[in-house]
Structure 1
Amino acid sequence: MIPIKKIIFTCVCITFGSHLLWSQSIADLVMSPESKGDKYFNQFAYKKAITSYEESLRSQKSDSMRGIISLKIAQSYNQLNQPEQASKWYAQAKETQVSVAAESLLNYAQSLAATGKYAQASHIFKELTEDEGVSASIKAISSEQINAIEEQNRFFINAGRVVIDKAAFNSKYSDFAPLLYDSLILFVSAREHKTFISGLFNWDESNYLDIFSYNPQNGEVKNFSKNLNTSLHEGPLTSYNNNKDIIFTRNTEARVNENTGDNSITKLQLYHAAYEDGKWSKGEPLNFNDPNFSFAHPSISSDGNTLYFASDIPGGMGGADLYKVQKDGDGQWGKPINLGAAVNTAGDEFFPTIHGERLYFASNGHGGLGGLDLFGYDLSKEGKVVNLGSPINSSLDDFGITFYEDGRSGYFSSNREESAFKDEIYQFKSDMDLMPEYQLILLVSDKLSQEIIKEAKVYLLSSQNDTITQLDYENGQYVSTQIEPNTNYKIITTSKEYFSAENDFTSLETAVDAPNTWKKSLSLVKDYDFGMTAFVFENNSQKKLDSVQVKLINNLGDEVPFKVYTDENGRFSYTFSENKLNDRVSYQIKLEKKGFLSKSMTYNKKLDKPGINSLNAMLDFGLNKIELGEDIGKLLGVEPIYFDLGKAIIRKDAAKELDKIVAAMKENPAMVIELGSHTDARGGDAFNLQLSDKRAKASAAYIVSKGIEERRIIGKGYGETQLMNECEDGVNCSEEAHQLNRRTEFKIISL
């Protein structure tokens, strides 16, 4: 097949002359197979290069050399646009650990995508985006393709509404770039025909390209014009002035290849021909052509004054870009203008087609299904490039589209698998616009009264690119036409006297209310100023505490706990956005601040009138400051813990006090406590120490039994070793004095 993606801007001519062929054959006898393959590769004779490289591979012993030759075979197949073979040989090259340049890795990933191996392709595309040494253009192409692979479903959303079939006039050779011309279909083909000089195109040993016509009335295919078709490449083309004028592509005469010294490199140029006296003129080059660069794939506006084409002239966005040029008052063409970043990418853009106000073109730089995909762009407004989707696009090359007047039927070119990977022409018919305008219609109403809210502001936020657009209000509805299929959005709605709302929306929902239209109803809750406020302070100093975390848990709902923080004045506020008049609310309020003892409380209220309720009058928002070594029992007001004489069993009155410690430890999950039990000096030292230790450990075990981790509570008896006064052995003290020493302490040892 003609590898359209590869030969767009570099053509190779056959050099005729027996003396040159003879001298080359003598030189070939002494060249190694690899060198001979390199020579053919540099001459763009890729089929011959593969044959020589495969011969060389059979004699290679080392993995590194096998990897180098495999990479050269892969690059040759890539130039021939045979992705299945290319990806196979790229994989073999990588297995040998040979160094593969970023451009070759990009070709490898693209060949995988072209054969439908999207997961493997995505992995390589991601490697390229993460490699700091890779050029910005390769990163950009890889990034676009990653996005396309991740969101591939959007290319199939309308697949069932387009029918395609192979055109009746395809041949066993490459046929592509159809153009509707009066009652005929013109197209470009490599099929055999009689020319003044016959020969094969060196690139893939196919015939040279010429322009042919097909007559649907009688099925006849013939040479379009002997004056236009020469021994060089001709086509694609465009027509205007009631089809009396055409502009077509033709390659220039050969010039020297700097790599090989051969007289073999040519460029593509644009020519004008007119139909006069029953025949076509031979064609004259357009005035802006430059023999150092290629100008190809013309398409002209209906008035014949604006010409669109592809070119590789310097200053573009990437490889080949699309340009336009205006005709001046003297009938000459002006200076080409790049169509800009909205259309052109770091990759290649080819085969423009103008239909009304729309530009259709092929690209491998915009995200697609693989290879060249067909895209549309509305020139009348600053919109986005639209992928035409399946089945017009496939994982291989799809390009060169032409339309009937309805804009929903016509022909295009593809080398998809059904074509045995050669370029063929397909006809298509769609029951919808190929560039459909999708819209979202929203109804915004009061949640209670169901009345339409006319003064809301509704914004659409795309998760793909964070673009925010405001919806227009039209006859009770909010409408957006800036919506795309297979996309996640957030809808943000605000209105005076209502709480703002945020809703998720996905344009892949199957229940589409009308062609290309989604409808959604939203309701807003009126702001009755229901809420609560309080200030938090330190108990000892009464100082207001800022940055206290206030966790609010709705006891009547299943919402995720909501967190707010006190401001510099120690105040926090919270509004009940989902409640209406006479609702009852119940919230657990938990206060947390580092260095302070956390606490919880419950707030219950019937919302019998609008307003913000201050909670300080009904609940205690004071926090106790805590330090390491401090007795938390004093902060909590824990009463003395008593045991029966000589025993270490937890009594009911003791359990009640220990439960206060349990509650505090649950409120402060990072806190670790030492529970210390002390006795007075009466009794033997050893007995007191043993008894206090049993009582401390029994108290600690009780706390653990209530759900506190064992590591967080340490029970230790001190006996009479840490008396609080002078009541030692032999000292006569009152019962009150001895009582001071019979104590239990809960010291904080870790926060």
Structure 2
Amino acid sequence: MTSLPFNSKMFSSGNPSIDSDGKTLYFASNMPGSIGGTDIWKVTINNDGTYGNPENLGNKINTVENENFPFIADNNVLYFSSNGLTGFGGFDIFSVDLNKNGMPNNLGKPVNTEKNDFAFSYNKETNIAFLSSNRSGKDHIYSAVPICKMEILTVVKNAKTKTTLSDARVVILDAMGATLDTQMSNAKGEVSYLVDCNKAYSVKFFKDGFVSKTIPVAKTNEAKVTIEASIEPIEVVVTETEIILKPIYFEFNKSNITSQGAAELDKLVYVMSQNDKLIIFAKSHTDSRGTDEYNLKLSERRAEATVQYIVSKGISADRISGKGFGESEPKVNCTADCTFAEHAINRRSEFLIIKK
């Protein structure tokens, strides 16, 4: 056993911890240059096994009181105990990411208590931490399983003007669709949620006069995920007989609702949700390609898909009905010499007001 060169009978040095590279040793000492009673220091370990000069970690970490029990994790996060930083009482355990030169964070309850909590260590492979505490009245060693937390920051914007939107209702849901929290966006259009890492979420955005939107959040262990939600303003024309949207086009020979179609149908959902006396009849049309019989059946499927989509958004089924008209009512009467664009225009849905 060899005493390290910076040891002295004039002060104490102890509780060493070496980083994963084996190049830096962290320790606690009250050697000259300390800010408080005991401070956290570090010293470089040279390739030849010699040591550099000890360096105080400074007043971001050390206080006029006592900091002790450093432990440097494999990800270069330093854990230590302090009775000088703001805590629950006695010694609390803090962490600081040395990669980011950040400020120390209190690990919070249940790791910290009003008693003395110290000597924290963490094994990343087993995902188990150990600490010592006198919370029971005597010093005991405790184990703990860290809970990974992440921030989901959402920014709500007007898709047309690109300006941020305040007072938008933002709802976060878990993977099963259960609502976890609801907040209103601030003046910057922001809402922040603190959630568990490595879990899937979805975030829904609502604001009067805008189409609602849902954005999934994939599993990740990133510390922060930022989501920019651009929501479309409701731009519809409501006449005495019809609700006029941008054309709801269908792909050739298909009846499924496209993403563009869904965005327009969401506007119809909004208008109907604001006026519960509106009853709508959806007319679905095809282009002129295919036989009359086939096109009639195809338009029926399109009308059914349109109605089902509206109902799936919470509109009562007795307020929306539909019928297919095949190619019998073309928007552009071009028959066999239609261009690709003209065929697309004829594959459409229209929304007539039956009752107001």
TM-score, with length taken from structure 1: 0.23
The structure number with the bigger radius of gyration is 1
From the two aligned structures, give the one with the greater helix fraction: 1
Structure number with higher strand proportion: 2
